[in-house]
Structure 1
């Protein structure tokens, strides 16, 4: 792979992938396993070194994408509510964990060995089109590259305006990957949300991915507009390990810290950066506003792009969500942002009155209108009536 990091890369390509994160490398993988691999393709990123810095999780019905790279699968989901913990087996939608280091290493090694793929490590400064709008241009500090199309996940689209966001929520978290001296974790069970009722500035919960009975990743996660100090997340994790498992700091070793911020906002979907530059992943509006999950949608987008290029020479741009699911997302955002205490009550009813398979089907936007009604009937209606009224104009704008 290192041999492809050279000054011998050409200046003109058929396609350029700008950004080697989950969305860029997913597209590269789909291109590699299609006739598109016969085209000349360049991947550009500021850092092409695989690092164990992210864990991507998703629920999936059937064989998951990148099945050979899945680090862990869970068949039981636990939810921690005010006075009880609910653990449910999932039959249709299993929960999967994929480490970024495994994914990035595998994809970069595969494309690096292919004669038609080049890799260039450098900071992306600008994306544009030629005056004729027939060629896309990528500028780095060192040089410029041209292509028929560029697919980018690095830069905010020019049409995005932060001040236009009505619900500026963030999903922010800090996690510890740790090992313990004695078996305390149930590695068949993912703790999806163990709610923290003591937190009053938003909605917060512990998220736990046990790798084995003695190791796992624990993240303190918050839905709110403001980030916390690093020590605040760490204190919550320390207290959780003590209260739930009786573990003091001397009982475990922290091997890695994972921290992130994911937008949970009423962002407009902006497919194109310019007429020849397509936005990928979060930059393309693929992050689901009400959950912060993106990985499965990235795979759908990558497939659509490749199918469009093969069928008519232009990338496909599938609709992200239908109108009704946009409405559901917006209503929950409104409740999370304006009524976080009510949001806890909504979550309580959602998880106690529905199976996890039903909830995952709904969140995956695979549910029928009848199934949607069942979900909506299972939660308190007053918060949603208020949200529908408050967000009615915004729904027409996004």
Structure 2
């Protein structure tokens, strides 16, 4: 019917390139694989961060590592050491450059810059098809991160929250930042339309990435983020616009919804990354869960030529996420209080262990008992039907 490949990766973002990298370092390296995206130009427009116990993935590409974190707690700012879960930042430009260069060195792997018109499949022939303006490309499996799953629409989502942010990479002439400590959440109490905070990643004493971040349903105008960042730099560090240069901007919108995770777009077409429900709803963190998903896919293809379905969360963690989404959506001020109490009453290693879903039930109960219980009792009652729906997925 058209040009044939063993596998096609539709989308060259974090998920698609992570899958290509995993294939390149496996027995699948000799398969005929296509990586297609509408734009393959390298762009320095994203910073991916994660905490991790043990050796991090893409260790040689890590832009910065921190072992101390600052948060705003119920009693003001606190700084803690991270002994088990250091925090890492990785630049999308470095990541894309490394993996695309590796793809180009392998004659079995091919890159194609082209719009993707649609994806289709034929279960009887066990084939999937990717349609471009010029060709129909044929394969046994497509792994896609370009399109929303067909069954996802507004009626599937009870709490349509999004994490949206704008960040500035700035440079100043004097040493102000403590490059050993990053700020995870410095809350903006003047914002009423959701949970809002500033996130600070100091690269050096004179350079940093600052992001104004909101958990809410509605997106604000870009100039509003910039006004908040300018005010934060003035109030926290005494910096006026003439004191710093904005060297780069990045903007993002990440779903924090209670949408079900749907592994298949169509037969033989698997959803990966955020489109596959990999993003953790209550935090928006995705990168490490992508790495787990692509490992599962490759393991399945090697064993019996069928990708393994990755289930990112056990049922109890789905419940915790749903309850917190309910609180953020309906009572953002209560959600801010919960975050502050969480940081005040626990070690950050314990918090990261819990958010990473590495904790055992007794540790979960300890975390839950450290925050106000009334909002959670209300959330448990109000979302019980929704939890049953999600639990069946």
Quote how far apart the aligned CAs of 1:82 are. Answer: 6.2
Q: SS at the partner of 1:88? A: strand
Quote how far apart the aligned CAs of 1:300 are. Answer: 0.2
| Aligned equivalent of 2:389 | 397
Q: SS at the partner of 1:302? A: helix
Quote how far apart the aligned CAs of 1:67 are. Answer: 0.1
Contact 2:233 2:240 in 1 (8 A): yes
1:40 aligns with one of 32, 37, 49: 32
Contact 2:123 2:268 in 1 (8 A): no
1:107 aligns with one of 95, 99, 104: 99
| Aligned equivalent of 1:358 | 350
Change (3 A) 1:82 1:247: farther
Q: Give the Cα–Cα distance (whole angstroms) in 2 for the partners of residues 397 and 301 of structure 1.
A: 23
Quote how far apart the aligned CAs of 1:348 are. Answer: 1.3
Quote how far apart the aligned CAs of 1:233 are. Answer: 0.7
1:17 matches 2:9: yes
| Aligned equivalent of 2:66 | 74
Q: Give the Cα–Cα distance (whole angstroms) in 1 for the partners of residues 13 and 362 of structure 2.
A: 37
Cα deviation per residue 1:311-365 (whole Å; 9 max; x = unaligned)?
1110011212100000000000000000111111111110000001000000000
| Aligned equivalent of 1:372 | 364
Q: Give the Cα–Cα distance (whole angstroms) in 1 for the partners of residues 234 and 272 of structure 2.
A: 41
Q: How many residues align?
A: 389
Q: Give the Cα–Cα distance (whole angstroms) in 1 for the partners of residues 372 and 75 of structure 2.
A: 19
1:207 matches 2:204: no
1:179 matches 2:171: yes
Contact 2:123 2:267 in 1 (8 A): no
Change (3 A) 1:387 1:133: farther
TM-score after normalising by structure 2: 0.98
2:375 aligns with one of 383, 386, 393: 383
Q: Give the Cα–Cα distance (whole angstroms) in 1 for the partners of residues 358 and 156 of structure 2.
A: 30
Q: SS at the partner of 2:6? A: strand
The runs of 5 or more residues in structure 2 that have no matched partner are none
Cα deviation per residue 1:116-172 (whole Å; 9 max; x = unaligned)?
101100011101113625111001112111111000000011111123210011100
Contact 1:17 1:151 in 2 (8 A): yes
| Aligned equivalent of 2:147 | 155
1:1-398 matches, within 5 Å, as: 11-81=3-73, 84-130=76-122, 132-398=124-390
TM-score after normalising by structure 1: 0.96
Q: Give the Cα–Cα distance (whole angstroms) in 2 for the partners of residues 46 and 318 of structure 1.
A: 27
Q: Give the Cα–Cα distance (whole angstroms) in 2 for the partners of residues 344 and 178 of structure 1.
A: 27
Q: SS at the partner of 1:150? A: strand
Q: Give the Cα–Cα distance (whole angstroms) in 2 for the partners of residues 104 and 283 of structure 1.
A: 19
Q: Give the Cα–Cα distance (whole angstroms) in 2 for the partners of residues 154 and 44 of structure 1.
A: 10
Cα deviation per residue 1:269-317 (whole Å; 9 max; x = unaligned)?
1000111000000100001000000000000001000000111110011
- Aligned-pair Cα RMSD in Å: 1.0
Contact 2:170 2:245 in 1 (8 A): yes
> Which segment drifts farther, 358-367 or 226-235?
226-235
Q: SS at the partner of 2:41? A: coil
Contact 1:133 1:276 in 2 (8 A): no
> Which segment drifts farther, 236-245 or 131-140?
131-140
Quote how far apart the aligned CAs of 1:216 are. Answer: 1.0
Q: Give the Cα–Cα distance (whole angstroms) in 1 for the partners of residues 339 and 31 of structure 2.
A: 48
Quote how far apart the aligned CAs of 1:83 are. Answer: 5.5
Q: Give the Cα–Cα distance (whole angstroms) in 2 for the partners of residues 390 and 164 of structure 1.
A: 16
Q: Give the Cα–Cα distance (whole angstroms) in 2 for the partners of residues 125 and 160 of structure 1.
A: 19
Contact 2:164 2:254 in 1 (8 A): yes
| Aligned equivalent of 1:3 | none
